[in-house]
Amino acid sequence: MGNDVDYRLVLASASPARRALLSAAGIEAEVMVSGVDESVVEAEDAYELCLVLARMKARAIAAELPADPGILVLGCDSVLAFEGQIFGKPANAEEAAKRWGMMRGRSGVLHTGHHLTGLVSGRQAEAVGTTVVHFADITDEEIAAYVATDEPLNVAGSFTIDGRGGAFVERIEGDPGNVIGLSLPLLRKLLIEMDASITDLWRA
């Protein structure tokens, strides 16, 4: 935004879906996995939890990197709030199947925390993207088949919308990218807070 800094984005996440989403938007992020132990973080509220985890991931990676004014570190974390419960990644196939037995025909709220840190400026910006997800009333057979693919074992809430699970989500209210794991409109706003532009990150 009028400055001459050569920005590059470091994504503090192992999620291939987040990286693919950025790549499709013209941003080739460098991926570094934080190794943050998510189990040590306790929060009563899904909104607060995802933001704390995103912040921890970004700060852990920022601490490992050399001082470069162009490096921006983005941490993201997603959780599903469902009827007073917080669903991150399921522990196993049994838990994923149990969740789907509860979620089918109902709706939950997917929260994704986003935290952006500038290495040299020390500036930070963060926000939570929120999307309402309406699940289809799927059969026991469909649940068993879906869980057997292992797809729901690797994602918050035990579902995706950009994979096999997309057939089991009837509609959403909000940004679909947020459900995949990263909201591009939200990232744009956070970059503006850091006096950068999302177009600064587009590959040539």
Catalytic residue positions?
Answer: 77
d(CA 54, CA 56): 5
Q: Under 8 Å CB-to-CB from 79, ≥6 apart: which residues?
A: 46, 49, 50, 86, 87, 88, 110, 111, 156, 157
Q: Which of 88, 137, 136, 116 is nearest to 182 (CA)?
A: 116
Given its phi and psi angles, is residue 45 left (phi above 0), alpha (psi -120 to 50 degrees) or beta?
Answer: beta
Classify burial at 203, counting beta carbons within 10 Å of its beta carbon; exposed 0-12, middle 13-18, buried 19 or more.
exposed
Q: Three-class SS string for 137-171?
A: CCCHHHHHHHHHCCHHHHCHHHCCCCCHHHHHEEE
Distance of alpha carbon 75 from its chain centroid, rounded?
A: 8
Residue 161 near residue 178, CB atoms below 8 Å: no
Distance of alpha carbon 178 from its chain centroid, rounded?
A: 7
